[in-house]
Chain A
Amino acid sequence: MEILIYGLINSVNLALIALGFALVYGISRLPNFAHGALYVVSGFITWTFLRRLELNYLLSIVLALVIVGIVGALIYRFVLIRVRGMAISEIIASYAIGLAILEGFRWCGFKGLTYTLPVFVPGSVLIFGIPVDYHRMLVVGIGAAIVAFLWFFTHYTRIGLALRGMAQDERAALMLGIDSDLMAVVAMAFGSALAGLAAVLLLPLGNIVVEAGYNILVLAISVCIVGGLGSWMGAVLAAFLIGFAQILTVVYLGAHYQMVVALLAIILTLIVRPSGLFGRQKELEERV
C-alpha cells in the first residue's frame, strides 16, 4: 500500500514539475532550459513577500506566479524570439539565462537553510496504516485540478484553442490570423507560471535552494522526453511511469538508484521510441 500511496504522490510531483516545460515546448517548440531557474525564482519571490514584506501567504503566492509569468514572457520577448527556430541556440540561450539566474542568487547570498515556506495544512493522517501528511494530500488534489483545468482551458477558451492551433500547425494557425509570436509569449508566461506553481506547492516540503533548479530541469526533461516532447498529456502519463518506477526502485533496489531511473528512462526512450509515448516529431521515421 505504501508503494501505491507514495508512488501516486511522487508521480503527481513529477507531473507538476514537468507540465510547464511540456506546455512551452508543445506550443512554441521551444525547449525552455530556464525552467528549473524559474522554479527557484518563484520560491524566493514567495519567500520575500511572505517573510520580508510579511504579506498574506496566498497573496504572496499569487504575486509570485504573476511575476514569474511576466519574467517568462520577457525572456521570450527580448531573448528567445531572436533565436527562435534554431534549436541549439534556443537551448544555449535559455540554459544560459537559467544559469545566470541561479548563480546570481548564489552570488547574492541566497544559500543555506533560511529559505523555507510553511506547509498549507500542518499535520498528518494514517491512510491504510501509512502516515501521509495533509500537505502532500493537498498537492495531489491540486495537481489533479491543474490537469483538469489545462484540458478545459485548451479545449474551451479562445486563447487555449489558439495555443492548440499553434501546437498542431503553426503555418495554418498564422493563416487563420493567430499571432504566433504573441501566442509563444503567452505560452512562455503560462509555462513559467506553471513552474512557479510547482515550486510553491512542493517547496514547503523542503528548503528553497539554488541546487534544486538543476534537479528540477533534469526531472522535467526526462518526464517530457518519455511522454513525448510537446504532449502535456504524455508528460502526465510519463510522470506516473517514472514516479512509480522510482518508488519501486527505492523499495526493491535501493534509494541511491532513484535518480538513475529518470536518466535511464531518457536513454531507453531515445533508443526504443525517440518521439516518446505521445510525441510526433519522429513519428514517420519510427513507422518506416
Chain B
Amino acid sequence: MSGTEKETGFTFTIDGVEIKAHAGQTVMEAADAAGVYIPRLCDHEGLRHQGSCRVCTVKAGGRSVAACTQPAAPGQAVENETPHLTKMRRDLVEMLFHEGNHLCPICEASGNCELQAMAYRLDMTEATKFPYLEPCRALDASHPDIALDTNRCISCGRCIRASQDVDGKGVFGYVGRGIHRRVAVNGENLADTDAQVSDHAMSSEVCPVGCIIRKRVGFAVPIGEREFDKGLIGHEIEEKRK
C-alpha cells in the first residue's frame, strides 16, 4: 500500500465482508456506500449524526458502539447482523413501541413508518415481555397545515436537527431528562412558532413515525401500497451490493 492510499483510503470488515472507507467516514457511512445495511432510526441522510436510538449498535473490537457516530478505522472487524445484536435491536425497537402509544391499525403513517418497518425487519412477532407504559400525551392541531400527535413520537430528534441545521429555525427542541426527555415545540403550541409546512423538518421523510402529520394529505396512498409494503427497510442500500 502506498503512502497516499494509506491517507485517503483503507479497508475494514463488517461480518467478514471487506468494506472500503476513507478517513473521516463513520462505520455506517462506509457501510451504506458499500451496500451493507445497518438498521437505524435516529440517523437520517443529510442530518448530523446523533447516536441516540442505539438501534445501529454494532460490535467493534469487542465493544458495543453506535455505527452512525463511530469513525471507521483501518483493519477494524465490525459485527453487524449477529443473533445477539439482532435480538438487542429487536428489544430496543419493542421498548420504543411500549414507551409511546403506537397503534399501527389507526395510524396514518402505517406502511411508511420506519419504526414499524424496523419491527418487520427484526421479526418482532413474539409475545412481549415488557409492560406497556401507555403515557398520556397531547395532540397539537393548532397549526393550519401541520398536526403533531406526540403519542407516536420516539424522541429521535430528527425534526430538531432538520429544523436547526437545514431550516435555520429551531421549531423543536428536547425538554426533560432521562425517561422524561421529550421533543417539544419552541412555544405554547406549534401555531405559535414560525413552522411552515414547506420546512424540511415537516417533510414526510424526516419524521420516522406518524408524529408530524401534514394536514389534508392523509391516506392519499392507500394502506398496502406504501413504501415498506413494497420492500424491507434498507433494501435499497442492500441492492447496491448486487
Q: Are both chains from one complex?
A: no
Question: Which residues of chain B have a CB within 8 Å of any CB of chain A?
Answer: none
